[in-house]
Structure 1
Amino acid sequence: MIEPLRVLQTKPLLTASIPIKVPREDIHKVMGPGLAELKAVVTVQNVAIVGPWFTHHLRNPGEVFDFEICLPVATPVAPVNRVKPGQWSAMKIVQTTYHGGYEGLGSAWGEFMGTIKAAGHRTADGLYESYDVGPEASTDPSAWRTVLSRELVET
């Protein structure tokens, strides 16, 4: 289930990120280890995390996922191995929240994209998923919340 669309303006946000490019079927193999690596580097550098972790898919996912695992941070991180400093730009986005387990994200994205199109919005390539409530907070997948976002293109 997804919530109604929200349109909002974001502010710039410093990030620590790890770029990853993997076949679709390997996403579950790289997500947890990548997030753990990212959190370890941020912790060692004593950089504060200022919100939920998220992924930024550089282009719409197909057979290959080309994305970044990101943590919003209070101050820039120093690059270490795969970890890079970055920034989420200010942008106008359309957003919804999906309620449920990760296995339903594909269907949620399809519903979200259909709702965006029906509302007459145009979006840029790429997407964002923010993991607000997940397995670390609840063992019940129906309690999980994933925020889905797309950048809007002005017409």
Structure 2
Amino acid sequence: MSSSSSSSSHGQAPTAPADPPSGYPALGADPIDGIRLLRVPAVPTAVVRVTGVPMSELTGVFDSVFGTVLPRAFEAGLAPAGPPIALYTDAVEGPDSVVDLEIGFPLRAPLAEQVGAEPIEADGRRVVASELPAGEIAVISHVGSYDDLGPAWGDFMGEIAGTGRAPGLPFWESYVTEPSPDMDPATLRTDLFCAVRTPDDEA
């Protein structure tokens, strides 16, 4: 994992959420070096929702969604407001790990206002309206290969505990750097987001 995904060398963890940057859900041109807490508004999204996906099959799902399904939405007038995202709504860990997730893009206006009510489908999947949740979240940037995202998430979840909060659902990734065949995977930036709760939330 890139050193940009760790806040251990950047002083005490934050204890109070800040306002998000004006371009949220984009976090700015520079990677977030050290965990931050933000209190954010809901953001509309256009996504393909998939459930019960084994982790070993995720690459094929992403290829289908980004290569076949979402291009149909672009043809219909979809205008993303930021980098592509994958929002995980459930995850079962273990030898047979499976996840439920939404893959797509954030929007400035709800999906129906951009493309109308006509269903957008391809490859047996449909584009639907959803949203990034409002509330308190933790964020950090990972700079490095997608193969290192698992360890990056593990470190991030541990750092959330250092803020006096607990990670919750959903959590999501924003793929800030658009990959290309000839690029160095070590330069890929992925912003990690996680809904968090405090002990008071459990009361």
User: Considering the TM-score relative to the shorter chain, is it more than 0.5?
Assistant: yes
Structure with max Cα Rg: 2
Q: 2:120 aligns with which of 52, 73, 80?
A: 80
Change (3 A) 1:144 1:61: farther
Shift of 1:41: 2.7
Moved over 4 A (4+): none
Is 1:4 matched up with 2:26?
no
SS of match in other structure, 1:133? coil
Partner of 1:67: 101
2:138 corresponds to which of 94, 101, 108: 94
Separation (CA, whole Å) in 2 of partners of 1:6 and 1:125:
17
1:16 CA drift (Å):
0.7
1:8-87 correspondence to structure 2 within 5 Å: 8-21=38-51, 22-60=53-91, 62=93, 63-75=97-109, 76-77=111-112, 78=117, 79-81=119-121, 82-87=126-131
Q: Give me the TM-score of the superposition, normalised by structure 1.
A: 0.90
Gaps of 5+ in 1: none
Size of the aligned set, in residue pairs, is 155
The range that moved more, 68-77 or 11-20, is 68-77
Q: Is 1:113 the equivalent of 2:143?
A: no
Q: What are structure 2's unaligned runs of at least 5 residues?
A: 6-32
Is the 1:14–1:72 contact (alpha carbons within 8 Å) kept by the matching residues of 2? yes
User: Whole-Å Cα distance in 1 between the matches of residues 195 and 148 of structure 2?
Assistant: 22
User: How far did 1:13 drift?
Assistant: 1.3
CA RMSD of aligned residues (A): 1.9
TM-score by length of 2: 0.70
Distance 1:60 1:118 in 2: 23
- How do residues 114-153 of structure 1 correspond to structure 2 at under 5 angstroms? 114-136=158-180, 139-153=183-197
Maintained 8 Å contact 1:47/1:74: no
Instruction: Answer whether contact 1:41 1:83 (CA < 8 A) is retained.
Output: no
Identity %, equivalent residues: 27
| Contact 1:8-1:92 at 8 Å conserved across structures | yes
